[in-house]
Amino acid sequence: MAAEASRTSEARRDAVFGRWVVFSPARSRRPTDLKSHAPANPSPGAAGAAAGAPKPSCPFCQGRESECAPEIFRVPAPPDASPWRIRVIENLYPALRRDAEPPAPEEAGEGEATPGERAVVGFGFHDVVIETPRHDVRLWDLDAAGVGDVVLAYARRVRQLMEHPAVKYVQVFKNHGASAGASMAHSHSQMLGTPFVPPSVTTRLNCMKEVFERLGKCSLCEFQSKDILVSETHNFSAIVPFAASYPFEIWIIPRQHSSYFHEIDKDMALDLGSLLRTMLAKLSKQLNDPPFNFMIHSAPFGVSSSCLPYTHWFLQIVPQLSLIGGFEIGSGCYINPVFPEDAAKILRELDC
* Per-residue pLDDT tens over the stretch 306-333: 999 999 999 999 999 887 889 889 998 9
Asked whether residue 186 is marked as a ligand-binding residue, the answer is: yes
Residue 339 in domain:
yes
Q: Average per-residue pLDDT in the chain? A: 88
Q: Is residue 244 part of a domain?
A: yes
61 labelled as ligand-binding?
yes
Instruction: Indicate whether 250 belongs to any domain.
Output: yes
Number of domains making up the chain: 1
CATH number for position 286: 3.30.428.10
Residue 18 scores a pLDDT above 80: yes
pTM: predicted TM-score of the whole model, two decimal places: 0.90
Q: Determine which one of 126, 188, 297, 312 is catalytic.
A: 188
**135 labeled part of a ligand binding site:** yes
112 in a structural domain: no
Mean pLDDT of 326-346: 92
Task: Choose between 171 and 31: higher pLDDT.
Answer: 171
58 marked as binding residue: yes
Position 37 in a domain: no
In this predicted model, what pLDDT tens digit does every residue of 238-277 receive, in sequence order?
999 999 999 999 999 999 999 999 999 999 999 999 999 9
Strands annotated E in the chain: 10-13, 20-23, 71-75, 86-90, 125-130, 169-176, 188-194, 229-232, 236-239, 250-254, 292-297, 314-319, 334-336
Q: Is residue 116 part of a domain?
A: no
How big is the chain by its Cα radius of gyration, in Å? 21
Identify which has the larger pLDDT, 35 or 72: 72
119 — pLDDT class (breaks 50, 70, 90): confident
Alpha-carbon span 278 to 262, nearest angstrom: 22
Confidence (pLDDT) at 1: 46
What residues contact 82, with CB distance under 8 A and at least 6 apart? 62, 133
Contact 67, 59 (CB under 8 A): yes
Q: Which of 51-55, 73-77, 97-101, 242-246 has the lowest mean pLDDT?
A: 51-55
167 is a domain residue? yes
Share of the chain above pLDDT 90, in %: 73
- What is the dihedral sign for C-alpha 7, 280, 161, 195? negative
- Which range is least confidently modeled, 22-36, 263-277, 295-309? 22-36
312 is catalytic: no
Asked if residue 198 is part of any domain, the answer here is yes
d(CA 242, CA 200): 19
Which range marks the domain in which residue 191 is found? 12-27+58-102+121-349
Tell me what the mean pLDDT of segment 185-214 comes to: 95
